[in-house]
Structure 1
Amino acid sequence: MSINKLPNECLYMILDHFNGFEELIRLSKVSPRWLLVVLLKFSKVKYLQLIGRYSSDLDYIDNGKLWKNTTETLKSHNLTDLFPNLKIVEVPLHFFVSLESYDFRRLINEHPKIKGLIGLYDPVEYGYNLENIEMISSDFKFEFKKIFRPDQLKQIRFDKSLDYTELSQVIEYFPNLKRLNLPLRYDIKKYYGPNLAALKILEVEIVTYPYDEFSIFPFMDSCPNLESAFLHFIHGKDASVNDSIKNFNLRDLVIKQAGHLTWSSLRKILLKFPNLYHLGIRKNKNIDDSHVEELVKLLPKIKLIDLRSCDKVTQKSADILSKYCEKSNRSIKIYYDCEEEPNEWPQLVNTGDRICYGFDFMKHCFYKTWNSLPHLLDE
């Protein structure tokens, strides 16, 4: 049987094994029918991401993503027409200053469905239409009030660190943020800015010393509907944690690189979030087997505790927890460092994708390192 007599479904299954971008373009020229099948594959592409800077790989398509090698050009193709459902674009650093960037400039200005950008660099005031953008990962070294409307952005990931004053300005201008990922400096020890009532996911890294003079928790108190948080390099004194202010909506909490956080401080932190379902505490030298039973009593709804990289947590904690669950009729999973980690345990991830599908903290963020957190989550 001639391949041209195959049903469209079979032809699509065959062409779906071809992933090279230029290769698919060549196949699309075989006939109008082949063009339609290739365009169907292109229509499923939602994300444009960059291949490593020094890679020699050519552009290709995989799992709904167009992987772009910045050393190659797409000048001869109209990406807006080829990829009508493109939603998030990672922008090469040279895009704003190089003539090679024409397609990216036109793509962002003309494509009606692009909602997210990764890598927005200075200058952006000249010739770019960003009125449809809702998600941004950027250094923000530009006057964002000249570029975006108030309330426009729903997700922001900062490359540069902010202090509380700068953070207050961002929040006042973008009160509808649902996810915020940023490094914070300790310049101002208390937060007096506006509330961020829409925020669901907060990811914060404390980037300057001394950690003990800084607390993220006053800012978290201004996020009453926060559901998930990832805190990196959290130390903090007891006085900086006001456990009288509760957040009953927080379900997921990761505290990573919490090396010198005492059990007393940790206890006060947990008291702020009585409805936690999932807790990860990593690289803490003070929590040990004796604290596990108290921990689960503090958190009556806890379902999962991840204490990997806490050197003093051992099999004894798992035994204590098993007896406690049997006595209290609860089901709680615990992960800890052991010689033979069971295959069914989720792995802690050191490398991750910059774009993830679904606004799901547990799936895309909980088990990752700080540097592996996704830049943007596609809702």
Structure 2
Amino acid sequence: MSLNDLPENCLWLIFGNSCSLEELIQLAQVCSKWSNLISMRLEKVKYLVRVRPLDHFDYTKIWVKKPTTVARYNLRELLPNLRILTIPCLGPRDQNKIRALVNCNSNIKGLVGLKIDDLLDLKNVEMVTMDNAMFDYKHKFQPDQLKQIRFFSTGTRMRKLHKYVQYFPNLKRLNFNCCERIGYYGPQLSNLKILESYLYGWDGDLDEFYLLDFCPSLESAFIKIAVPYERVDSSIKNYNLRDLVIEISRDEQLNWRFVRALLSKFLIYIILRLEALVL
């Protein structure tokens, strides 16, 4: 029995186990039967990533090994239901391929790796991973357009964070690294559900959980801190928070008084990632 004699459902499982776009394109060239099955496989793809997915059976993700693949093939036809795109590093000659995929494409809702010099039509985008130096974001996005933001550059300025919050008041998810030794003094992030932050520039004079007090609807938070400071304002409660992960970046000590204060502030399941817990 040859491979092509297998039932279509068996072939589908074989093709589904491949998460490489290049491999699937090559397999689709074997025969029309394989091409039709792989087309069905690619119709399920919603995420185009540059890192090999850990779960090969997640049909919604496809991995691109070479950036030139994006320029070589018409991904708008190959991946008709693509929603999230990781922007590859391409030369100026191939940038038109990215524009053809993104511009005027109402299906694309998220971009990873957005840079200040990317000449893209972003009117349909709701989720971005972008450079925090994108000072002209008001020219690239409409007010209240973005729902999720991740700043991939290190050293997000806390003093500028309030400007993004004011311009995008309906943010649902925020991920950033902060290197400034100042607190947040901006408007409330009233609709924020998920917060992920690394406060590596803060010192013992600042409350690392102060920002959470500006997020009344917060449901999940990951806070990574360089120096733990055990002051918590227990007078402000947030009972919407369901899980909180705290990671200490070096060998520091926490005590149970600090943990009890957090429990009184948030009725949640807390995970502490640290090497030493002082009882």
Matched with 1:145 is 138
Structure 1 CA distance for aligned equivalents of residues 122 and 116 of structure 2:
14
Matched with 1:168 is 162
Matched with 2:124 is 132
Structure 1 CA distance for aligned equivalents of residues 17 and 260 of structure 2:
53
Q: How does 1:89-168 map to 2 (within 5 A)?
A: 89-92=85-88, 94-95=89-90, 97-124=91-118, 126=119, 128-142=120-134, 143-159=136-152, 160-168=154-162
Question: Is 2:5 the counterpart of 1:12?
Answer: no
Identical positions, percent:
39
Structure 1 CA distance for aligned equivalents of residues 258 and 32 of structure 2:
67
Matched with 1:63 is 58
Question: Is 2:265 the counterpart of 1:269?
Answer: no
The CA deviation string for residues 128-153 of structure 1, in whole angstroms up to 9 with x for no partner, is 11111111112222121111111111
Question: Is 2:187 the counterpart of 1:194?
Answer: yes
> Do the aligned partners of residues 242 and 19 (structure 1) sit closer, same or farther apart at CA in structure 2, a change above 3 Å counting?
closer
Contact 2:169 2:190 (C-alpha < 8 Å) held by counterparts? yes
The code of the aligned residue for 1:206 comes to L
> Do the aligned partners of residues 5 and 121 (structure 1) sit closer, same or farther apart at CA in structure 2, a change above 3 Å counting?
same
Of 250, 256, 261, the residue aligned with 2:241 is 250
The CA deviation string for residues 195-243 of structure 1, in whole angstroms up to 9 with x for no partner, is 111111111111215x2122233321111111111111152253xx211
Deviation at 1:63, TM superposition (A): 3.1
Structure 1 CA distance for aligned equivalents of residues 19 and 133 of structure 2:
37
Higher relative contact order (CA 8 A, sep 6+): 2
Matched with 1:205 is 198
Question: Is 2:38 the counterpart of 1:38?
Answer: yes
The CA deviation string for residues 142-194 of structure 1, in whole angstroms up to 9 with x for no partner, is 121111111111111112323332111111111111111111234323x3311
Structure 1: 5+ residue runs without aligned partners? Answer: 53-60, 289-379
Q: How does 1:298-309 map to 2 (within 5 A)?
A: none
Partner secondary structure for residue 210 of structure 2: helix
The code of the aligned residue for 1:117 comes to L
Partner secondary structure for residue 212 of structure 1: coil
| Number of residues of Structure 1 aligned to a counterpart in Structure 2 | 270
Contact 2:20 2:63 (C-alpha < 8 Å) held by counterparts? no
Partner secondary structure for residue 73 of structure 1: helix
Matched with 1:178 is 172
> Do the aligned partners of residues 134 and 261 (structure 1) sit closer, same or farther apart at CA in structure 2, a change above 3 Å counting?
same
Question: Is 2:70 the counterpart of 1:78?
Answer: no
Structure 2 CA distance for aligned equivalents of residues 157 and 13 of structure 1:
34
Task: Give TM-score, length-normalised by structure 2.
Answer: 0.83
Contact 1:214 1:236 (C-alpha < 8 Å) held by counterparts? yes
Matched with 1:329 is none
Question: Is 2:224 the counterpart of 1:228?
Answer: no
The worse-fitting range, judged by mean Cα deviation, of 253-262 and 115-124 is: 253-262
Contact 2:222 2:244 (C-alpha < 8 Å) held by counterparts? yes
Structure 2: 5+ residue runs without aligned partners? Answer: none
Partner secondary structure for residue 214 of structure 2: coil
Contact 1:198 1:225 (C-alpha < 8 Å) held by counterparts? yes
Deviation at 1:286, TM superposition (A): 4.4
Contact 1:118 1:138 (C-alpha < 8 Å) held by counterparts? yes
Deviation at 1:24, TM superposition (A): 3.5
Matched with 1:218 is 210
Structure 2 CA distance for aligned equivalents of residues 130 and 72 of structure 1:
22
Deviation at 1:38, TM superposition (A): 2.0
Deviation at 1:264, TM superposition (A): 3.3
Deviation at 1:15, TM superposition (A): 4.6
> Do the aligned partners of residues 11 and 188 (structure 1) sit closer, same or farther apart at CA in structure 2, a change above 3 Å counting?
closer
Task: Give TM-score, length-normalised by structure 1.
Answer: 0.63
